[in-house]
């Protein structure tokens, strides 16, 4: 089985898994919300008047505690292994301020927490900027945020989020945790909309080298991921009049994180004067 076929199948499987997770979570959350509201309606049918017993305060929503938001310089990027450690053992990382990429699996368009003025987002987190929503392994978490966060957030958005771990004595407050999902809750203190990484930025196409037996188009690739990757670059030869002459796919060997590899293309046949080479698309694969 070829690498690209395996990757496409793996990607479709990840999409199906994520879709199934979101559907199940929404169903559970809806049941939790309906149960909460039915309980409220039952209580409303038999109201308790002022001074008629301490039961009047039972179930009252807690007063939200202001979350201190440090300046942007206090947040730092982390490696994926560090993020994994935070999500596995949040109590060991209380007070750390980190920057992560969050794909929003479910936006907070319903009563998603038990604290007034706050909302919860179900997300998939990554320490690095992905090229698409299925590139990296799924790592779900719940981000708690102020309801007046200035960045509008919708399902499907990719965020560059500034997050921290709540104190260990803070009880879970999201409807997802109330529904029994054991995803860690982090505080999102700020966020900006982000774009999926344009992998063409990792590729440099040089001038044709005519010194050898056959002309060679030098193509270099810098691996921007934090893990070894193999790149595939689709190139198009474009004539001076704008017409497309020939297409080719250049492959690299596996490139270590942050390192640069080669995907040089040997050119056969006559190479017309003035021909240019355009990068049409770039993919990368983790072996």
Radius of gyration (C-alpha) of the chain in whole angstroms: 26
Cβ atoms 199, 222 nearer than 8 A: no
| Residue range 38-65, pLDDT digits in tens | 333 333 333 333 334 433 333 444 444 4
Residue 152, SS3? coil
> Could you tell me how many residues make up the chain?
287
| Residue range 217-267, pLDDT digits in tens | 999 999 998 889 999 999 999 999 999 988 999 999 999 999 999 999 998
Spatial distance between the Cα atoms of 194 and 180, rounded to a whole number of angstroms:
30
Strands 276-285 and 230-238, bridge-based pairing: antiparallel
Give the pLDDT of residue 234: 95
3-193, superfamily in CATH? Nucleic acid-binding proteins (2.40.50.140)
Element of type H or E holding 122: strand 118-126
| Residue range 211-221, pLDDT digits in tens | 888 899 999 99
| Residue range 134-164, pLDDT digits in tens | 777 668 999 999 888 888 899 999 999 999 9
Is the domain defined by 199-285 classed in CATH 3.10.250.10? Answer: no
Domain boundaries, the chain: 3-193, 199-285
Cβ atoms 87, 138 nearer than 8 A: no
- pTM to 2 decimals? 0.67
Model confidence at 270, in pLDDT bands (50, 70, 90)? confident
């Amino acid at each position: 089985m070829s690498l690209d076929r395996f990757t496409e199948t793996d990607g479709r499987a990840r999409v199906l898994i994520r879709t199934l997770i979101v559907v199940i979570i929404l169903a559970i959350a809806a049941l939790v919300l309906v149960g909460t509201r039915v309980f409220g309606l039952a209580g409303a049918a038999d109201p308790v008047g002022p001074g008629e017993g301490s039961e009047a305060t039972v179930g009252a929503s807690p007063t939200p505690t202001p979350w201190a938001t440090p300046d942007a310089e206090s947040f730092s990027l982390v490696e994926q292994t560090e993020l994994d450690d935070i999500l596995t053992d949040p109590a060991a990382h209380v007070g750390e301020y980190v920057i992560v990429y969050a794909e929003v699996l479910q936006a907070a368009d319903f009563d998603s927490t038990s604290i007034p003025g706050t909302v919860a987002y179900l997300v998939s987190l990554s320490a690095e900027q992905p090229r698409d929503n299925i590139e990296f392994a799924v790592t779900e978490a719940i981000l708690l945020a102020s309801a007046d966060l200035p960045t509008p957030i919708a399902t499907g958005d990719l965020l560059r989020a500034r997050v921290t771990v709540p104190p260990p004595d803070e009880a879970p407050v999201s409807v997802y945790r109330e529904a029994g999902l054991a995803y860690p809750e982090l505080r999102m203190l700020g966020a900006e909309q982000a774009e999926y990484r344009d992998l063409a930025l990792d590729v440099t196409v040089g001038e044709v080298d005519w010194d050898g037996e056959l002309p060679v188009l030098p193509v270099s690739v810098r691996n921007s991921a934090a893990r070894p990757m193999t790149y595939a670059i689709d190139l198009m030869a474009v004539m001076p009049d704008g017409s497309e002459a020939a297409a080719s796919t250049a492959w690299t060997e596996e490139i270590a994180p942050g390192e640069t590899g080669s995907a040089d293309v040997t050119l056969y046949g006559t190479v017309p004067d003035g021909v240019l080479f355009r990068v049409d698309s770039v993919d990368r694969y983790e072996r």
